[in-house]
Each structure stands twice: as structure tokens, then as C-alpha cells.
Amino acid sequence: MSATPETVLVVDDDAAVREALIQTLELADLQVIAAGSFIEAKDHITAGFAGVILSDIRMPGRDGFHLLGHAQAVDGELPVILLTGEGDIPMAVEAMGQGAFDFLEKPCAADDLLPVLQRALQTRALVLENRHLKVQLETGDPAARMLHGTSRIAEDLRRRIRAVARTGAEVLVTGPPGAGVSRVAEVLHLMSPFAGGPFVKRPAAALEVGALDEALSAARGGSLFLDEIAALPRPAQYALLERIEQGPEARVIAGATADLAAELQAGRMHAELYYRLDVMPVRIPALSERPEDIPVLFRQYVAQAAEQAGLPVPEISPDHLAALMAQDWPGNARSLMSAAMRFVLGMPEESQAAAELGLAEQMARVERSLLVAALGRQNGRASEAAKALKLPRKTFYDKLARYGIKPEDYRRG
């Protein structure tokens, strides 16, 4: 049985206790692997185990101390929580000294057990995430490896990320939904002076002031990524600005897919915090702004999907790639990834109608996407976009009018 980041390996020789624990954890939407002894449990204890261990101390044969020692030998950062009987508290304290994550006295109420497990699971997820990032850091240029595309706009994004990453200053990463704001934040961390520290991700909407301080503490020496910064509660926005001005021990990277100008106008985004973060902005372009990257990205996603599904990489026809380029992709990279998985699995494409359009309509869609891409690259400057496409200005404006494209929609600040 494979583990997920919300998995708990429960080890207890008492069947009644074991079943009670399983029921408590499953009611809390946690995945459970149950074992009645060390021998049953040991095959699940691996360096890549994406979960935590909850074990009784006293068991026949090899007890909880033996299990703790084995787990530490396999992976010294794998959290082990020990359950103790009434007379086992001194043993549990000793186990803490030997590296146990925590201990709880039996019988253990759900209100006492679940918070400890959640802390352990969060710790484990962070450890595994940072191991993954470390491997990426050690195998080359993260920007080139994680942000694909051969267009000028893709290369400009990579160049911008490399420059911003080196500064170590606060960063604001914006982009449309599905464009990869979180992924760009990871690359910024990997290429920054803080790459040796942890990369901590938190949804801003869930952070009150106390939780914000805990997140900054957890990210000490590394980077804290606050996803959807405009949703950060107002008191926490003031607190974050204060912490930044004091000089935090972690780099703050804020992300947003929302229109922050509208959030400012509505009073949901603290203006001073916004302007402080916006000193080093990174904007991720929509996929519709760089349609020439779609074939490159789709091939990459198909290869990844095939590996994930354990299937051979299917051949991709030029007609299929042309149909993909003719689509708008409002979900951006995330939608293209989903399309790649469906393609690998041989499922009918939801937007198959695009491939069934006549040549004129397909060409019109590609032409529209190229016009939008040119405007995006030129920051909405129509005359420069026309030059880049080698079109007379009148012809260019006629095409914009035909497709209802407004250059001002592609101006960035």
C-alpha cells in the first residue's frame, strides 16, 4: 500500500486499540496503514514514506523503541509519535531524547491526538518538499528546467526570475489562474541566497497574525510563499508589513492570481503592503500570449503524464498541435497539463471541436493568438507589436478590430 502526505502508519499489538485509532483517523480524513507489530510495519518504513508513524511503546518482541531506532536509521527526519501507558511516561521522555517527535498517554482523546498528528504531517510534508527542491537545485538551472518554452516571452520571464532571485528582496508574483504562480515562487527560492533554507508555502487566507509569525519562524533562513496575498486577513497584512520593515529572517514571496488593482480599490489589500511587495514584481504571462510555446509545453506534459501513468509516450501529430495552438486556454498551463493526461489515456478531448473546425476558422484562431502574444510581449504597444509581426499598421489595426482585441488590455503598469 502506498502512502500519501496525509498517511499515518499505526502500530499497536492491541487489536481493539488499533481499530479505535483507525476509526478516529479515518473520521479526520486521514489515510491509515495499520500494523500489529514491528515486523508488519517495517516494510512500510522507507526514506520516501510521505507520512508519519504512530506507535505503542510496549509491544511483544520488538517494541516501540526498536521501531523508533529502525525509523531513524532509515530516515532520521521521519516523525515517530509514541503512545504510552500509565506507567510509561519516563520511557516516553527518554524516547523524546532519542528523537521521537512527541508522545501521548493512552487512552488518547481525538482532541489531543489529531493536533499532534497534524503538526507531524506538516513537518513531514515540508521535509519532503525541501528534499525535492534540493535535488532540483543540485541538477542545474532551475529556471531553465522548471519553466519551459522557447519563445522570447518565456526567455524574458526566466531572465527576470534570475535577476529578481539574486536580490533576496521581497517579491510579488502575479499571473492568471493556472499559470504557475507557486512554481515560479519555488524557482525564485531555488535561485536565491536562501536556497539552503526551507521553502514554506502557506495559503494567505488561513493566516491570522499568530499563524503568520509561526510560518515566518518555520521559514527562517529560507523563503515563505504566501499564496493569494490579497486574501490575507487585514490584521495579518499590517503585521506582515511590520515584520518586513523589521527585517524578517525569511524571504517573503507573495503570490496572486486576483486583480490586485481591484483588490486595492475595494480596500481588501493594504496599499502600503502592496507597494512594498511590488518593488520586485514578476508577472507570468497567460498561455494565450505565447502560443508558440504550446507545442513545447504539450510535449513536455505528455512525457510527464505517460511516465506517471506507466504508459508509452504517444505520437503527437502536427494537426493535433495546430488545434491546441488555436485554443485560448483560459486555465493556462494547468489546463494544458490536463489535456496532456487525457491525450496519454486516450480520452476524447473536451475541446475536440477545435480540431474539427474548418481550415479558415483554425487559421483565424491561430492568428488571433499570435496577435495577442505580440501585444503581450510589447506591453500593449500596438505599433511595436505590428512591427514585430511585420504587418502594416492599418492591417494590424484591422485585424485587432476583427477579433475584438484591445491593446490596452495587455498593458502592464
Q: Is 70 exposed, middle or buried (0-12, 13-18, 19+ CB in 10 A)?
A: middle
pLDDT of residue 398: 86
Instruction: Find the CATH number of the domain harbouring 91.
Output: 3.40.50.2300
Half-sphere exposure of 160 (CA within 13 A, CB side): 18
pLDDT of residue 353: 44
Instruction: Find the CATH number of the domain harbouring 235.
Output: 3.40.50.300
Q: Is 296 exposed, middle or buried (0-12, 13-18, 19+ CB in 10 A)?
A: middle
For residue 317, the tally of other CB atoms under 10 A from its CB is 10
**C-beta separation of 383 from 292 below 8 A:** no
Locus of grid cell 506507466: 310
Q: Which residue has the higher pLDDT, 139 or 36?
A: 36
The pTM for the full model equals 0.58
Looking at the structure, tell me whether residues 39 and 117 fall in a common domain.
yes
Res. 138: pLDDT tops 70: no
Residue numbers of the domain that contains 226: 140-284
- Indicate the pairing of strand 7-11 with strand 80-84: unpaired
Looking at the structure, tell me whether residues 372 and 276 fall in a common domain.
no
pLDDT band at 205, cuts 50/70/90? very high
Query: Could you tell me the strand order of the sheet in which 102-105 lies?
Result: 31-35, 7-11, 51-56, 80-84, 102-105
Looking at the structure, tell me whether residues 144 and 280 fall in a common domain.
yes
Q: What does pLDDT average to over the chain? A: 84
Looking at the structure, tell me whether residues 198 and 228 fall in a common domain.
yes
Is residue 368, in this structure, part of any structural domain at all?
yes
Res. 246: pLDDT tops 60: yes
Please tell me the distance from the alpha carbon of residue 172 to that of residue 229, in angstroms, as a whole number: 9
Q: Which residue has the higher pLDDT, 350 or 155?
A: 155
Q: Which of 131, 148, 181 is the last residue of a domain?
A: 131
Looking at the structure, tell me whether residues 209 and 93 fall in a common domain.
no
Please tell me the distance from the alpha carbon of residue 338 to that of residue 66, in angstroms, as a whole number: 45
Is residue 19, in this structure, part of any structural domain at all?
yes
Taking alpha carbons only, the member of 47, 124, 111 closest to residue 79 is 124
**C-beta separation of 81 from 54 below 8 A:** yes
Looking at the structure, tell me whether residues 98 and 171 fall in a common domain.
no
Is residue 347, in this structure, part of any structural domain at all?
no
Looking at the structure, tell me whether residues 12 and 110 fall in a common domain.
yes
pLDDT digits (tens, 9 = 90+) for 2-50: 344 478 999 999 899 999 999 999 998 899 999 999 999 988 998 878 8
- C-alpha grid cell, residue 158: 526566466
Looking at the structure, tell me whether residues 220 and 274 fall in a common domain.
yes
- C-alpha grid cell, residue 142: 532551475
Is residue 301, in this structure, part of any structural domain at all?
no
Q: Which of 284, 304, 329 is the last residue of a domain?
A: 284
Is residue 310, in this structure, part of any structural domain at all?
no
- C-alpha grid cell, residue 40: 508488519
Count how many domains the chain has. 3
Q: Which of 109, 131, 153 is the last residue of a domain?
A: 131
Looking at the structure, tell me whether residues 28 and 49 fall in a common domain.
yes
The values of phi and psi at residue 131, to 5°, are -65, -45
Is residue 53, in this structure, part of any structural domain at all?
yes
Looking at the structure, tell me whether residues 111 and 150 fall in a common domain.
no
Is residue 32, in this structure, part of any structural domain at all?
yes
Is residue 306, in this structure, part of any structural domain at all?
no
Percentage of the chain lying above the pLDDT 70 cut:
89
pLDDT digits (tens, 9 = 90+) for 85-133: 766 677 777 778 888 898 888 888 899 899 999 889 888 887 887 676 5
Looking at the structure, tell me whether residues 149 and 272 fall in a common domain.
yes
**C-beta separation of 336 from 329 below 8 A:** yes
Looking at the structure, tell me whether residues 397 and 333 fall in a common domain.
yes
